[in-house]
């Protein structure tokens, strides 16, 4: 069972990027914890971060034929702008969970709308890095691998 975790632009800066908003864990630390959870459940975790919309679209398209069963995605700023990422997720028709570290609804108005949420299995926001872990546990559970 393979889970793909996608991180959008600027999330490579986690740890030092606005820590009061996004926490102090680095992306590598978050990904390592997710890998441990997946491995313990007998699943495979693939992670991918890009600052480029097209690279994220390409990675989503590749997920259709690489064995991915579910996608966890923090599209970061593309959440609020990207019809292309929405269309890619709709196109591959894989279930996905949308995650945001911060509570986007408590922030600027332009962050309140997501181009993805109505297609997502679920959305977690405002729980920091724990949101990724909860999303992964749900994905593993719903796919029947425990965790």
CA distance 95 to 58: 17
The residue annotated as part of the active site, out of 7, 22, 78, 115, is: 22
82 binds ligand DQA (CB under 6 A): no
CA distance 133 to 135: 5
Cβ at position 117, least distance to ligand DQA in Å? 12
- Hey, what are 40's tokens? 């313990």
The angle formed by the CA atoms of residues 82, 58 and 103, to the nearest 5 degrees, is 40
52 is catalytic: no
Contacts of ligand DQA in 107-126 (CB under 6 A) = 111
Q: Which residues contact 23 (CB under 8 A, 6 or more apart)?
A: 14, 101, 128, 129
Do 119 and 56 meet the contact criterion of CB atoms below 8 Å apart? Answer: no
The residue annotated as part of the active site, out of 7, 78, 100, 132, is: 100
> Which range binds ligand DQA by CB under 6 A, 36-44, 84-92, 99-107, 136-144?
99-107
Out of 2, 10, 12, 130, the residue judged to bind ligand DQA by CB under 6 A: 10
CA distance 32 to 142: 22
Cβ at position 95, least distance to ligand DQA in Å? 19
Binding residues for substrate: 74, 80, 87, 101-102, 111
Judged by the rule CB under 6 A, the positions of this chain that interact with ligand DQA are: 10, 74, 76-77, 79, 100-102, 104, 111
Active site residues: 22, 100
């Amino acid at each position: 069972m393979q889970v793909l975790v996608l991180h959008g632009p600027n999330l490579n800066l986690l740890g030092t990027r606005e820590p009061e908003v996004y926490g102090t864990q680095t992306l590598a630390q978050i990904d390592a914890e997710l890998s441990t959870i997946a491995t313990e459940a007998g699943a495979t975790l693939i992670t991918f971060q890009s600052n480029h919309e097209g690279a994220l679209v390409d990675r989503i398209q590749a997920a259709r034929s690489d064995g991915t069963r579910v996608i966890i995605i923090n599209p970061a700023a593309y959440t609020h702008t990207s019809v292309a990422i929405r269309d890619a997720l709709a196109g591959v028709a894989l279930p996905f969970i949308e995650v945001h570290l911060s509570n986007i609804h408590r922030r600027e108005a332009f962050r309140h709308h997501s181009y993805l949420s109505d297609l997502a299995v679920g959305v977690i926001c405002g729980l920091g890095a724990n949101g990724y872990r909860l999303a992964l546990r749900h994905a593993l559970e719903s796919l029947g691998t425990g965790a």
